[in-house]
C-alpha cells in the first residue's frame, strides 16, 4: 500500500527532528530556514507544541528547545525495550574495561543517528550526545552499518562527491567500498580522524535476522590510542556483538524505531 505523507504532521515531525539535533535551541526564523517552511505556516504548530510541552520557549533568547513531554514519550519507548537495556549493560562493561566512551547508532536517512551512549570517567574525553546525526561514510558506526552495501547501492546513496570534514576523510567512493569489504570480513570498522581529527573510533555491526540493524563503537582521543588499547577494544566489541545478537535472536525485539512496518 502506498503511503501518502500528511503534510502538517510531517512538518511537526520536521520541527521536532531539527530541534533534537540542535541542543542549544533555535529561533523561529532558524527553524523556518532549516525545514524550508514559512514562519507563518509553522508558528501555529510550534505554539501548540509549546502549549502541550513538547517544546520549551525561552523568553530571554527567543529560542525553542525540546520539551519535557518529548522526554516522557521517549522514556516510555526505551523503558519497554529490554533489548536496549541489555545492550547498555554490555556498553557499560566495555567502558569499565577501557574507560572510553561507548556509543550505539542506527541508520536514518543515510546518516548515523546516535541512540545510546555510556560516558567514560576520563576528564579528557570525546563529547557526544544522544540524538546527534553524522554522515555514515566517515564514521566508524556508519561504516559498520554500510559494510553489507554493494558498490552500486553505495553510489545511489551518495550520488555526489563525498564531503571532506578533515584531511583524513575518505572522499573516493571506490576507496570507501574497499574499506567496507574489509569491515565485512573482519566485522570491525575504523575511523581515524575523518570527522574529528582529534579522535579515533572502532565499531562493530549488530545483526538481527541476517540484517544489520545497529552498531556499537568506542571512541578514543588520538593521544590515548595505542596498539594495546586497539586490540582490547576490538576484542570487547566482538564479544559484545556476539552476546547482543544472541539476545536479539532469542527475544526478537526490533531496536530501530524507524523501521517500516509494511
Residue 58 burial by Cβ neighbours in a 10 Å radius (0-12, 13-18, 19+): exposed
Q: What is the CATH number of domain 7-71?
A: 1.10.10.10
Confidence of residue 248 (pLDDT cuts 50, 70, 90): confident
Q: What is the 3-state secondary structure (H, E, C) of 99-161?
A: CCEEEEEEEECCEEEEEEEECCCCCCCCCCCCCCEEEHHHCHHHHHHHCCCCHHHHHHHCCCC
Could you list the beta-strand ranges (E) of the chain: 55-58, 63-66, 101-108, 111-118, 133-135, 189-192, 199-208, 211-221
What pTM was estimated for this model as a whole? 0.67
Q: Half-sphere exposure (CA, 13 Å, Cβ side) for 65?
A: 10
The pLDDT of residue 206 is: 94
**Arithmetic mean of pLDDT, 146-172:** 92
Domain boundaries, the chain: 7-71, 81-251
Residue 261 has pLDDT above 80, yes or no: no
SS3 label, residue 29: helix
**Arithmetic mean of pLDDT, 39-50:** 94
**Arithmetic mean of pLDDT, 194-216:** 92
Range of weakest confidence among 81-90, 153-162, 209-218: 81-90
Calculate the CA dihedral of residues 215, 225, 229, 243 and round it to 10 degrees: -10
**Arithmetic mean of pLDDT, 130-149:** 91
Confidence of residue 179 (pLDDT cuts 50, 70, 90): very high
Q: Which CATH class is domain 81-251?
A: alpha beta
Residue 125 has pLDDT above 70, yes or no: no
Report the percentage of the chain scoring pLDDT > 90.
56
**Arithmetic mean of pLDDT, 27-46:** 94
| Topology match between the domains 7-71 and 81-251 | no
Amino acid at each position: 500500500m502506498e503511503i501518502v505523507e500528511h503534510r502538517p504532521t510531517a512538518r511537526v515531525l520536521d520541527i521536532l527532528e531539527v530541534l533534537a539535533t540542535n541542543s542549544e535551541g533555535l529561533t523561529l526564523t532558524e527553524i523556518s530556514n532549516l525545514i524550508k517552511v514559512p514562519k507563518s505556516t509553522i508558528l501555529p504548530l510550534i505554539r501548540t507544541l509549546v502549549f502541550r510541552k513538547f517544546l520549551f520557549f525561552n523568553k530571554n533568547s527567543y529560542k525553542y528547545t525540546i520539551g519535557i513531554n518529548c522526554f516522557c514519550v521517549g522514556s516510555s519507548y526505551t523503558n519497554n525495550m529490554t533489548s536496549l537495556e541489555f545492550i547498555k549493560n554490555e556498553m557499560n562493561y566495555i567502558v569499565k574495561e577501557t574507560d572510553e566512551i561507548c556509543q550505539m547508532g542506527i541508520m536514518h536517512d543515510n546518516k548515523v543517528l546516535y541512540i545510546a551512549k555510556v560516558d567514560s570517567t576520563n576528564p579528557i574525553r570525546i563529547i557526544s550526545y544522544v540524538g546527534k546525526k553524522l554522515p555514515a561514510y566517515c564514521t566508524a558506526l556508519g561504516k559498520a552499518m554500510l559494510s553489507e552495501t554493494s558498490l552500486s547501492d553505495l553510489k545511489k546513496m551518495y550520488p555526489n562527491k563525498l564531503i571532506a570534514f578533515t584531511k583524513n576523510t575518505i572522499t573516493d567512493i571506490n576507496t570507501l567500498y574497499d574499506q567496507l569489504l574489509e569491515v565485512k570480513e573482519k566485522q570491525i570498522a575504523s575511523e581515524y580522524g575523518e570527522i574529528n581529527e582529534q579522535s579515533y573510533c572502532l565499531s562493530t555491526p549488530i545483526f538481527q535476522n541476517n540484517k544489520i540493524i545497529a552498531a556499537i563503537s568506542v571512541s578514543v582521543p588520538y593521544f590515548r590510542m595505542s596498539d594495546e588499547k586497539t586490540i582490547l577494544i576490538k576484542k570487547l566489541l566482538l564479544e559484545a556483538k556476539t552476546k547482543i545478537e544472541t539476545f536479539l535472536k532469542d527475544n526478537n525485539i526490533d531496536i530501530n524505531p524507524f523501521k517500516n512496518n509494511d
